[in-house]
A and B are shown apart, each in its own frame.
Chain A
């Protein structure tokens, strides 16, 4: 990897990306009854596009946004200089190694460390982009282990709607369509909740936020 790109570039680039995302999607947040989360928390969202965390980022109030870091796959985001600039420098992602054999650090500990440092996280528990017909893929266990390690942290489900139609996999021209980001009420892990039960509960909480069909999209 090359040397880091100038630091002064990161803020304008972040602002430009958010502005572009807004111009294309007119994204709008729908907050839970409990309102905008005030403290640090873990947002966990459905994953259908590389732009997912940008939309969540775009709708968060700036004071929350500054301390919110997406969790992303190092294998993908360190692949090229541009990607690592955007992923690591601009969005300050917590880059975790998804391939077990290539790991030098434990991803759950990396996430816990970021939380301890006062940051919120954006996590995609499906692990990878959902290209199936199902609304959600089974959750990987990372969310569970993180919740176990930091049981006091709020877990906020976030449903991102329509972004998969804006930029389907393999396309590079985005179609302007209105997107919404729906925040649900926070949940926490039970003291002795089993992994399978917890993941099913978290998944159901996220799925409950998905809107009834708007356009009959795929």
Chain B
């Protein structure tokens, strides 16, 4: 077994251990405080923990399956996220071909380019080509009603759900000296730090949250949750330096950037939900809402993390 896969297996076992502890805590809380299932917060917590099991197992399988598994997993995530996003937009009949192109041309092409490691084209394919071709396809139908809004929404949906999300598997394409064959651990680092940051913000907020940080956007986010979550996720990121090409200090700094981007990503996506009058993006994941509800912070941190690592560590 190579060092990379043994590290990966250690990591997965560690995460499963954390989940096991969480499940036991959830079970005890339920027995003590909500035996009849009446405490909504505890029921939601347990639904979330259960969904985490499923997500971790799916991601673990994809990671062990290697490059194809990871790319397929994120292509599916992009698809489900784009579906949630477009569902909430102002599409009209005239957008039909533009939307079909987004789902069935832009999305697969972006992931194909990733697979082919064509950095020069995949890093501009959506911001340049899709940006120009989407409105061209839409305008051919001659419907000008709310044209700018419609185009902007489809473009943004593609940027968020496909372009940004694809920067997670894009980490596999980096060539870092001395880190060959271990890139999947970079993805693990990003996903673990972002998701733990979300969880820890939630936990700190529930325990000590007093002051709302953005009451208009997200009633559950507090200053205490934010500070505690970011600080603890940064420390955990630093402690995970051994799976990365970074020193502990660098790992901590990158984890800090990741958690900040994740936090603000959550706020932005929350603003969109408020605007559209919905509480969740969808219902794909029991207890979490839609896929975007879980992915929002990853999506915002992935491209920044990717480019920071690429700029300072990668040869390609």
Contact = CB atoms under 8 A, between A and B. Distances in A.
Given A28-B283, A176-B79, A178-B83, A216 B96 contact: no
B103 A217 contact: no
A176 B278 contact: no
Nearest to B150: A216
Interface residues of A, number: 18
Contacts of A162: 87
A175 B92 contact: no
Interface string A21-46: 00000101000000000000000000
Chain A's interface: helix, strand, loop or mixed, by majority? loop
A168 B96 contact: yes
B88 A214 contact: yes
Contacts of A218: 92-93
B104 interface: yes
Nearest to B281: A178
Interface in A101-116: none
Given A215-B91, A217-B90, A176 B103 contact: yes
A49 to B, nearest CB: 13
B87 A214 contact: yes
Contact of B80 (A26, A28, A216): A26
Counting chain A CB atoms within 10 Å of each CB, the highest count among B93, B283, B284 belongs to B93
A203 to B, nearest CB: 25
Given A26-B282, A26-B284, A28-B283, A215 B80 contact: no
B276 interface: yes
B89 interface: yes
Given A26-B284, A215-B89, A175 B84 contact: no
Counting chain B CB atoms within 10 Å of each CB, the highest count among A168, A176, A212 belongs to A176
B100 A175 contact: yes
A173 interface: yes
B284 A215 contact: no
Nearest to A176: B83
Contact of A217 (B92, B100, B104): B92
Interface string A204-218: 000000001111111
A171 interface: yes
Interface string A155-178: 000000010010010010101111
B278 A214 contact: yes
A44 to B, nearest CB: 25
15 contacts: A26-B83, A26-B283, A173-B96, A173-B97, A173-B100, A175-B96, A175-B99, A176-B103, A177-B87, A214-B87, A214-B88, A215-B86, A215-B89, A215-B90, A215-B91
Interface of B: 79-80, 82-84, 86-93, 96-97, 99-100, 103-104, 276-278, 282-284
Given A162-B87, A212-B277, 13 more contacts: A26-B284, A171-B96, A175-B96, A176-B82, A176-B86, A177-B87, A178-B84, A214-B277, A214-B278, A215-B86, A215-B88, A215-B89, A215-B91
